[in-house]
Amino acid sequence: MPKTTAYQATIEHISILDEHANFDAELGEGVMTDEQALHLYEHMVNCRELDEVAFKLQRSGRMGTYPQNKGQEAAAVGVALALEKGKDWIVPSYRENAALFMHGLPMHYILMYWMGDERGSKMPEGVNVTPLSVPIGTHMLHATGIAWAEKLRKSDGVAATFFGDGATSEGDFHEAMNFASTLKVGVVFIGQNNGWAISVPRSKQMNSETLCQKALAYGMPTVRVDGNDIYAVHYAAKEAVKRARAGEGPTFIECVTYRLGDHTTADDARRYRDEAEVEAWRNRDPILRVRKYLTAKGSWDDARDEALKAKAKKIVAEVVDAAINVTPPETTDFFDDMYQSLPEDLRKQRETMRTSSLGQNPDQVGLKADTAAVEGR
């Protein structure tokens, strides 16, 4: 018998608004209104401002380690616009703050989180967002489970989950993809391929040239988009959400992008990245091209842009104030949500947390009542 082709696939790449602000009128037709584009633009600008200020907060010792989102805002907002707030879910990693803000997470919560305060993850009522996920590549399974529950309840909510290129090396990623595909549940997987996992380039991370190839392995529809193009991202996200709502299962979207900053404030990307590479990507900034395009089109102008940026500064200044001036957590705060009701033993630890173990059992035979005196001796 002659050899035959057992399987063949092609992966589409979508770009609508390119880095020179050229707009593909055919593909871009009806993707979003200028009003919607401006809405996303505003969110990107606010998020960028937050990033810049957060960096300074860290450098001046007012915040711990922080991972800037800078350069990757388009994927966040392009997807978030396709989702219904309060109905759909977002299961994030840590580089899509703008999506969380669009779905109702107060901006200062993100700062609180990185300022070492758990209350930054206390989602307000109606905000269907899970906390930032520090263990890389593990949270996508939760998106699959969330979508599965939607299916079991015969409702059509969608779960969108974000992660990086490095995250696709973790076993849990593959399990999440396989479960979602075989159970045919409504997950939108958004791989933000910024080319680097800290210092490890894509070429060392995987031998696959695209992340999309991994979706093919699970029989999942997939598309690769210019991740710095809100139109391309939204185009793909809208289709994926539609498919998910219709009960047709998951989609994998690869957003090709770049982080313009260091991995986190604890990192120094100059150790492993070429400045020329960074410079090239600065020109592909997702924010610049939207401004350029809408301005050329007459839907936006410099005066309004200035006003928007001034407003962003004001918003972020207020956000910083809110995060810095939040009442400090009670010293016992980390006990209180361990369980719905605290086990007796743990309650006792909470009450006596500043004492030693003997001090927790003061009625013990042999313990002298005047240890305070001994202590002060």
Ligand X SMILES: Cc1ncc(C[n+]2csc(CCOP(=O)(O)OP(=O)(O)O)c2C)c(N)n1
Neighbours of 353 (CB within 10 A): 12
> Is residue 198 within the footprint of other proteins (CB under 8 A)?
yes
Measured CA distances, 273 to 70, 196, 262, 278 (Å): 16, 9, 10, 8
E strands of 112-238, at which residues?
159-164, 187-193, 196-197, 200-201, 222-226
Instruction: Report in angstroms how near the CB of residue 12 gets to ligand X at its nearest.
Output: 23
Nearer CB in complex with ligand X: 120/166? 166
Neighbours of 26 (CB within 10 A): 7
Range 33-92, binding other proteins (CB under 8 A): 64-65
Of the residues 20, 119, 272, 347, only one is catalytic, namely 272
Give the interface segment with other proteins, choosing from 73-81, 130-138, 183-191, 248-256 (CB under 8 A). Answer: 130-138
Cβ neighbours for 275, distance < 8 A, ≥ 6 positions apart = none
- Residue 95 · residue 54 · CB < 8 Å: no
Nearest of 222, 231, 232, 226 to residue 253 by alpha carbon: 222
> Is residue 194 within the footprint of Mg ion (CB under 5 A)?
yes
Of the residues 48, 103, 234, 263, only one is catalytic, namely 263
CA distance 372 to 85: 57
**Residue of 2, 30, 298, 366 that binds other proteins (CB under 8 A):** 366
- Positive or negative: CA dihedral 33, 34, 35, 37: positive
Count of residues that bind ligand X according to CB under 6 A: 14
Q: Is 113 designated active site?
A: no
Q: Is 235 designated active site?
A: no
Range 320-359, binding other proteins (CB under 8 A): 328-329, 331-335, 338, 345-346, 349-350, 353-359
CA distance 187 to 181: 9
> Is residue 134 within the footprint of ligand X (CB under 6 A)?
yes
**Residue of 16, 98, 100, 136 that binds ligand X (CB under 6 A):** 136
Q: Is 62 designated active site?
A: no
> Is residue 194 within the footprint of ligand X (CB under 6 A)?
yes
Contacts with ligand X by CB under 6 A lie at 95, 134-136, 164-167, 192, 194, 196-198, 263
Active-site residue list: 259, 263, 272
